[in-house]
Structure 1
Amino acid sequence: MEFKPFSEQHITTAANLLVHQNKNILRRFPLLPERIAEMDATREFLTALLQKPDSHGMVLEQNGKLIAYMLGSYNENPFFGKHCWVPLGGIALPRNNIQQVFRHLYAATGVQWMRDGVLNHYLVCPDLHAWQQAAFSLSFGREQAYAVNSLQKPLEQPDLPAGIQIRLVVPQDANQLFDIGHWIAAHLNKEPVWEPVPQQHLDAILPEYAKLANDDTSTTMVAVEGEKIVGYVVLYTVDVGLEHLLGVPSAGEFAAAAIDPDYRKRGVGRALFTRLINEARQQKYKTLFTDWRTTNLVAASYWPSFGFETFAYRLLRRVNPRYQPFVEK
C-alpha cells in the first residue's frame, strides 16, 4: 500500500469511489438526496473541497489502484480553535478492512496536520458501525449528531397551552429576538455539554437573530404569550452549492429552535415545532435536516421523537496541546 498527497489527478477516481460508497449509504439512509451518488455531483464536490484554502488530504493506492482517501481543510473559530474539518464525503473507504484502512489513512493524513500545528481534528462520518468503531479506536469521540426526517405525512398538531399563540415573525420582533438569541448558548453552557459562551460568539449571533424578523430567505415562527416571545424556530433551505454534497432545494433545515426556560415542559415546544414541520411540508420540502450536540441530553431524546433519524456524526479528536515532535539528542 502506498499513500500519496491528494491532488487534482485523483479527483475522477476518488469521485467514482465516493459514488459506489454513497450508493451503499443511500440503501441504509434512503432519505438522503440521491445526488450524493451521482458522478457529476461527487466530482464537483471533491474539486471544490480540494480548491479550498489550506486543503490537505491523502489517497491510498494498492497495486496502483486508488482504494481510499481522506480530504479536509483548515479553519479557525472561537469554538473549534485551529482545526482541520473533513466533511461528509471527505472520506471514502473500501468495503473490506474498514478499520485497518481507516486507522492507517488517518495516521498518514494527520502527519501534515500535525506539522502545521493543527491539533483539533474533525471528521463527519456516516452512522455506520464499522466507521464509528474505527474512529473510536483512534480516540475520536462523538460531538454532534446529524439527522434527517421525512415530510411525506403531516404530523398531528398538538393543542397549545392556554394563553399561548403561534405566528410568523414580524419586523417588530427584531429587538426581542436580539434579546433572546442567547437561549441556545446558555442551554449548551450547562451540564453535561459545558460549552463556553465567548462574548465574540454573542456579538456575532445576536444581530443575526434580530435579522430573522425581516429575513425573506427563512421562515421563522414564534410562540407568544401576549406580546412576549416564549419560543422560536427557524427553517431554511439547506445550503446548496458545489461544496455542499447534501444540498438540494427540496431539503429544509431546522436551523435553530429554543423555548424560554420558564415555559419548558408545558407543550409549547412540541406545538411550535410541529407547526413548523408541517409548514415545511406545505412549502414542498420533501425532507428536513437538523443536528444536535450528543451531550445535549434533552435534544438527543427530543428530536428523534419527531421522527428524525441520525445518519452521521461529527467526530472530534483533540491532540494534547503540549505535543511537540521528539528530537533525539
Structure 2
Amino acid sequence: MGNGFADAEVALKHLQELWQEEPLSGSVAERDGRVVAYLVAGTKPAAVWGPNAWVESSGHALDDDVPVEVARELYAVAAESWVAEGRLAHYVLVPSHDVALADAWWRLGFGLQHVHALRSPWSVEESLAAGSRKSAITVRTPVRADMAALVELDLELPRHQARSPTFSSGPIASYKEAVADWEGDFVGEAYASERFTTFVAEQEGGVVGSAVGCALSVSRMYEGPLQTPDAGFLGFAAVRPEARGLGAGRLLGEAVLAWSAAQGHPAVVTDWRATNLQSSRAWPALGFRPTFWRLHRLIGH
C-alpha cells in the first residue's frame, strides 16, 4: 500500500500521535524483556458504535516469529478490563491478507462487519471498454435542479442499511438537514464543491442514483496502515430501489474511477458493510480488492 508502516520509525510516530489523541488501553507480550506483540484500543464517541473498545489498524501487531495464537492471549488480557469498564462492543481492523491472524480473531467470537478495499485508477483500456457499452442510463455532474433527488438518495443509503440483512443502527438525517448539507455545494445553478465531486445517474429524464468522490485525506476514518497515500476515495454511492440491477451503480463507480485517474491519484479506496448485499457484490465486480476487514464482537449476547 506504500504507506511506510513497514518502517519502525513511521509506525512509532503514528502510535505516539494516536496515544496523545485519546486514552488507550490494552496489553503487551514480552520475550526476554522485549515487547514482541501488543494490542491497544481507544473508544469511538459516536453512539452508533455502542460502549466500545476500538482497535485501529495500527492498534495491534506481532513480531514475525510470534505465533498468531498470541493475539488471542493479548485479547483475553485486554478484554477483561474493557468489559469491566462496560465497553461491550469490540471492534478490530485486521489486514485481509493475513488469513491466519483473521482466523485467530474469528476464534475469539468476532465476525466480519465491514470491508475496506483498494484498486488502481481507471485505465485507458477500461475507459474504452466502458465507452463501447450501450446503456439507457447516462452519468453527468449535478445541477441545482437535481437537489431534491440528491437529498432523497442521501437518505436512501442509511434507510437501505437499516433493513435486512444489514440492520445498521446508523442515524438517518432529516430531509431538512440533508437539504442544508447540499445547499453549500451549489453556486447559482452549478455544482461547485471544493472538496467533493458528485455524479448523478439519469434514466428517462430522472435522477436514479448518485456517487461522491474525493481525496482520501478528506476522510478521518483512514489512518495508520489503513491509509493509502494520495489515494482517491469512492465515499458514497446510492441507487433508487426501482433502478437497481440496471447498471447505474457500476456507471457511477466508473465515473468516480475516471475522475480519480484524471486527478492523478495512484489508487482508489472504498468500503462497504459486508452484509450490504448490493455493495458487497458491486464493488468487487468493479475491481476493488479487500485490504482490511473490520471485525466485531458484542459481549453478553
TM interval, shorter chain, is 0.7 to 0.9
The one-letter code sitting in structure 2 at the alignment partner of 1:140 is F
With normalisation by structure 2, the TM-score equals 0.86
2:198 is the alignment partner of 1:220: yes
Distance 1:200 1:256, change over 3 A: closer
Asked whether the equivalents of residues 122 and 257 of structure 2 are also in contact (C-alpha less than 8 Å), the reply is: no
2:107 is the alignment partner of 1:137: yes
Residue number among 121, 128, 132 corresponding to 1:151 in the alignment: 121
Counterparts of 1:186 and 1:206, CA distance in 2: 17
Shift of 1:268: 2.0
In structure 2, the residue corresponding to 1:98 is in which secondary structure? coil
Moved more, 202-211 or 34-43: 202-211
Q: Quick one: percent identity of the two aligned structures? A: 27
Moved more, 96-105 or 274-283: 96-105
* Per-residue deviation, residues 13-62 of structure 1 (Å, max 9, x unmatched): xxxxxxxxxxxxxxxxxxx1242223443122101211122322322211
What is residue 161 of structure 1 aligned with on the other side? 135
Residue number among 244, 250, 265 corresponding to 2:223 in the alignment: 244
* Per-residue deviation, residues 156-178 of structure 1 (Å, max 9, x unmatched): 3254533x332123345444322
* Per-residue deviation, residues 57-78 of structure 1 (Å, max 9, x unmatched): 3222111011001122112323
Name which structure has the greater RCO, CA cutoff 8 Å, separation 6+.
Answer: 2
Counterparts of 1:135 and 1:211, CA distance in 2: 43
Counterparts of 1:223 and 1:312, CA distance in 2: 29
Residue number among 140, 144, 151 corresponding to 1:178 in the alignment: 151
Gaps of 5+ in 1: 1-31, 322-329
Asked whether the equivalents of residues 170 and 214 of structure 1 are also in contact (C-alpha less than 8 Å), the reply is: no
2:272 is the alignment partner of 1:299: no
Asked whether the equivalents of residues 145 and 314 of structure 1 are also in contact (C-alpha less than 8 Å), the reply is: yes
The one-letter code sitting in structure 2 at the alignment partner of 1:236 is C
Distance 1:195 1:280, change over 3 A: same
What is residue 28 of structure 1 aligned with on the other side? none
Asked whether the equivalents of residues 255 and 290 of structure 1 are also in contact (C-alpha less than 8 Å), the reply is: yes
Residue number among 62, 73, 82 corresponding to 2:31 in the alignment: 62
What is residue 12 of structure 1 aligned with on the other side? none
Q: For 1:71-86, list aligned pairs within 5 A.
A: 71-86=40-55
Give the alignment's Cα RMSD to 1 decimal.
2.6
Counterparts of 1:111 and 1:209, CA distance in 2: 45
What is residue 261 of structure 1 aligned with on the other side? 241
The one-letter code sitting in structure 1 at the alignment partner of 2:91 is Y
Q: For 1:1-329, list aligned pairs within 5 A.
A: 32-127=1-96, 128-151=98-121, 153-154=123-124, 155=126, 156-158=129-131, 159=133, 161-162=135-136, 164-196=137-169, 198-199=171-172, 207-208=180-181, 211=184, 213-225=191-203, 228-239=206-217, 244-245=223-224, 246-320=226-300
Gaps of 5+ in 2: 186-190
Asked whether the equivalents of residues 70 and 86 of structure 1 are also in contact (C-alpha less than 8 Å), the reply is: yes
Distance 1:44 1:160, change over 3 A: farther
Distance 1:250 1:46, change over 3 A: same
Counterparts of 2:176 and 2:60, CA distance in 1: 34
Number of residues of Structure 1 aligned to a counterpart in Structure 2 = 289
The one-letter code sitting in structure 2 at the alignment partner of 1:230 is V
Counterparts of 1:95 and 1:203, CA distance in 2: 52
With normalisation by structure 1, the TM-score equals 0.79
